[in-house]
A and B are shown apart, each in its own frame.
Chain A
Amino acid sequence: SYELTQPPSVSVSPGQTARITCSGDAFPNQYAYWYQKKPGQAPALVIYKDSERPSGIPERFSGSSSGTKVTLTISGVQAEDEADYYCQSGDSSGTFPVVFGGGTKLTVL
């Protein structure tokens, strides 16, 4: 199997910068994707192909990659950003083409 590792939780105050990391052996050879998941709502794609932002996603959301780790950065965090965030990628061989990280709960203090 293939695993992506995220911290269980991250806490920041409003206006600060939140950074959520995701580690996986297949990075940087495979793209990373990030989803925001709020209770009772469908997941929303916030970053695709490591650092691209879908239309309608605020500019405060950005993604980056370095070695075997990718990072979702939320600048100027707002209360509405409180949610679970999941990274997603796949292994290098294609045997596991879709793998989600365990998720990170972002708490806005």
Chain B
Amino acid sequence: QVQLQESGPGLVKPSETLSLTCTVSGGSISGYYWSWIRQPAGKGLEWIGRISFTGSTNYNPSLKSRVIIFVDMSKNQFSLELSSVTAADTAVYYCARDPGVATPYYSDYWGQGTLVTVSS
């Protein structure tokens, strides 16, 4: 069964770039799409964006100007970079697998999530 694990700094300073990596095990990154989703404390889920194994990306329009998602097939990993962060970006960040090609996209396997706090 496929498993996903997020990793990266738990604390990021305001105005800096948040960087997270998701390592996929139990299956190949090839053939699927891979998403990042976040959840601020006490709030709902927010989709950040996704990437295919070929590198094709789709981003949430509200975050598009600050987001980059890229894939490293040799390491079976994909990564998120979110620039110019503020306290509003403090959240638990999840990586997930998307089995579908057509919209609406959805996720069937999720990582456990990692808390990222934006603070000086």
Contacts and interface: CB of A to CB of B under 8 A. Distances in A.
A79 interface: no
Interface in B62-120: 62, 94, 103-108, 110-113
A99 B94 contact: no
Contacts of B113: 42
A97 B105 contact: yes
B39 to A, nearest CB: 8
A10 interface: no
Interface residues of A, number: 27
Contacts of B94: 42-43
A83 to B, nearest CB: 13
Interface string B33-57: 0010100000011110010000000
A97 B104 CA distance: 5
Given A42-B111, A44-B110, A100 B104 contact: no
A103 B43 CA distance: 9
Interface of B: 35, 37, 44-47, 50, 58, 60-62, 94, 103-108, 110-113
